Amino acid sequence: MFDHCIYFNTTALARQLEREWASAFEPFDLTPPQAFLLRAILDKPGLLQREYAEGMVVSRPTLTRALDGLKFKDLIERRSTQHDGREQSIYPTDEALSMHASLNEASVRVGKRLKKQLGNEFFAEAVTMIREVSKALK
């Protein structure tokens, strides 16, 4: 019915991928957005909230809600910056640091499973094309 509709097809794909990563991150009691954000914080601790929002390609209010969820789970801490007390840098807690490797491994397992299903080359091409479409629509 909507074979040529980019919205319908990307949304359907997003729902399928959401289920894959939700299952992978369930043992950590994290949603996929929370898990990917935490992985970003673990990889680059100390960035400002707005920098994580830009990197994750989400609005600042969306990022704030995800950070609130991570803070509630004691996985991050916010620290005011020295040059502007209104800005906050985000850092992982010791608990988050202890789950860093296993969190990354869970995501890698999903990626490997998808690559096996789709083939490495097709997977890489699909990711590249999706990123290019996203960039072109900005």
pLDDT single digits (tens) 2-12: 888 999 999 99
Looking at residue 14, its pLDDT comes to 95
The domain total for the chain is 1
Handedness of CA 48, 110, 75, 73 (dihedral sign): positive
Q: Where in the sequence is the domain holding 64, given as residue range(s)? A: 6-136
**For residue 127, what are its two tokens?**
């990711």
pLDDT computed for residue 133 by the predictor: 94
Q: Evaluate whether residue 30 is within a structural domain.
A: yes
d(CA 138, CA 134): 7
Q: What is the spatial distance between Cα 64 and Cα 51, in angstroms, rounded to a whole number?
A: 12
Per-residue model confidence as pLDDT tens digits over 48-101: 998 999 999 999 899 999 999 999 999 999 998 877 667 789 999 999 999 999
Residue 21 within a domain: yes
**Residue 39 is assigned to a structural domain of this protein:** yes
For 22-45, what is the mean pLDDT? 96
Note whether residue 108 is domain-resident: yes
> In this structure, is residue 61 part of a structural domain?
yes
At 52 the pLDDT is 95
Please say if the pLDDT value at position 138 is more than 90.
no
pTM score of the predicted model: 0.89
- Domain for residue 65, yes or no? yes
Structure tokens that stand for 39 in this block? 């992985």
- Average of per-residue pLDDT values in the chain: 93
Has residue 1 been placed in a domain? no
**Least confident range of 34-38, 85-89, 108-112:** 85-89
Indicate which CATH number applies to the domain containing 81: 1.10.10.10
Q: Please spell the DSSP secondary structure of 53-102, one letter per residue.
A: HHHHT--HHHHHHHHHHHHHTT-EEEEE-SS-TT-EEEEE-HHHHHTHHH
Domain assignment of residue 34, yes or no: yes
- pLDDT of the residue at 85: 65
